[in-house]
Amino acid sequence: MSTTVPSSELAAPAPAESAESTDTGKGPAAPRAASWGADPYANALRTGRGPLFLRRSDGWLLPLDVERWCSDAGSADLSALHRCEGPVLDIGCGPGRLVAELTALGHRALGIDVSEVAVARTRGLGGAALLRSVFDPLPGEGRWGTLLLLDGNIGIGGDPAALLARAADLLGVGGLLIAETATVDVDERVRVRLDDGRGGPPGESPPAACGAAAELFPWARIGTPALLRHARACGWRTADQWGAEGRTFVSLRRPVRERSARTSSQSAESANSTPVISSQLPK
Ligand SMILES: C[S@@+](CC[C@H](N)C(=O)[O-])C[C@H]1O[C@@H](n2cnc3c(N)ncnc32)[C@H](O)[C@@H]1O
């Protein structure tokens, strides 16, 4: 596993740490993903603008494309959305452009996110969204037709293999996972914090006053070759791989296997039914 972020994909070392905690501590997701619920991300989503970075502990910055996330779905997004089948769960939906577009295309779509502002913005666009971590109990477990992990979200939790296992439990038989991959051949687990680029020198620890938002949290970056290796080892089949507008994607078919004990009773009850998301859908 590589542990180095290629400098071609990163901005200069961080000039600053300025995170200030507003972690709500709400729900079981909070300890796992407190940083995404805190100020730097919420502020960026409110204004629709960066700068915003994931800052690695050694000071290197991975820029986050807040402006694109807060815009309408673009043609690369559509290349993924047109491949969706059945009801769609957008994991880490952010401000909701994909959920809104899917809804407009006539899909049953639900976004989940650990950021209150992201969920509110998604609903504001007319999309259905829940304030929930992907690792929390979710509606329609074992019945989703497609899961989306775009915009780097395969990095959620810092362990793509664990996220793939969770995805397999969420999907119905024959279900599809569509993931965006890093454009370079990388397979790394890192610890990062959100950073809006203001303040102190690179490599320095954030001031104690920064609180929970300054906490490092696990993240992963993975390119197509490594993701396909992990997925095949767990029984996933490659359905497709493609590129659009400089972004890279893969789609994977869920492994045919026994589900984990936690979800097997739910899935057996409801094998071919639609996930119960009506109450989350726009009126
Ligand atoms: C890299 S951003 C992607 C933004 C998004 N795809 C969009 O369209 O704007 C990661 C997103 O995942 C969310 N997230 C982080 N951890 C999560 C988790 N455990 N479960 C669900 N969402 C999570 C963050 O709040 C953030 O909105």
Contact by Cβ (8 Å): 125, 257: no
* Ligand 1 pocket member 275 (CB < 6 A): no
At 24 the pLDDT is 32
Q: What is the mean pLDDT of residues 20-36?
A: 41
73 CB within 6 A, ligand 1: no
Q: Residue 258 above 80 pLDDT?
A: no
What is the per-residue pLDDT for 18? Answer: 26
Q: Give the CATH number of domain 29-272.
A: 3.40.50.150
Which ligand 1 atom is nearest residue 32's CA? Answer: 19
Average pLDDT over residues 137-151: 98
Exposure string of 124-140, with b = 16+ CB inside 10 Å and e = fewer, is ebebbbbbbbbbeebbb
Lowest mean pLDDT, pick from 12-21, 46-55, 84-93: 12-21
pLDDT beyond 80 at 252: yes
Closest ligand 1 atom to 115 CA: 25
Instruction: Give the model's pLDDT for residue 116.
Output: 97
If one compares 28 and 228, the residue with the highest pLDDT of the two is: 228
| Residue (of 71, 205, 237) closest to 151 by Cα position | 71
50 in contact with ligand 1, CB cutoff 6 A: no
49 pLDDT higher than 80: yes
Q: Which of 175, 153, 150, 163 is nearest to 97 (CA)?
A: 150
For 96-140, what is each residue's pLDDT tens digit? 999 999 999 999 999 999 999 999 999 999 999 999 999 999 999
d(CA 92, ligand 1 centre) in Å: 3
Per-residue confidence (pLDDT) for residue 28, from 0 to 100:
37
What pLDDT shows up at residue 279? 53
Task: Tell me the domain boundaries of the chain.
Answer: 29-272
> Would the pLDDT of 216 be above 70?
yes
Q: In what side-by-side order are the strands of the sheet with 171-181?
A: 128-131, 109-113, 88-91, 144-149, 171-181, 247-253, 237-244
pLDDT at 204: 54
Q: What is the mean pLDDT of residues 1-29?
A: 29
Tokens encoding 17: 């740490």
Look-up of token digits 């026994």: 258
**pLDDT score at 205:** 53
- Report pLDDT digits (tens) over 151-177: 999 999 999 999 999 999 999 999 999
> 122 CB under 6 A from ligand 1?
no
pLDDT in tens, 60-78: 899 999 999 999 999 999 9
With a 6 Å cutoff on the Cβ, whether 152 touches ligand 1 is: yes
Task: Report the pLDDT value the prediction gives residue 39, as an integer from 0 to 100.
Answer: 87
pLDDT at 35: 81
Taking all residues of the chain, what is their mean pLDDT, rounded to a whole number?
A: 81
Position in ligand 1 atom list of the atom nearest CA 54: 1
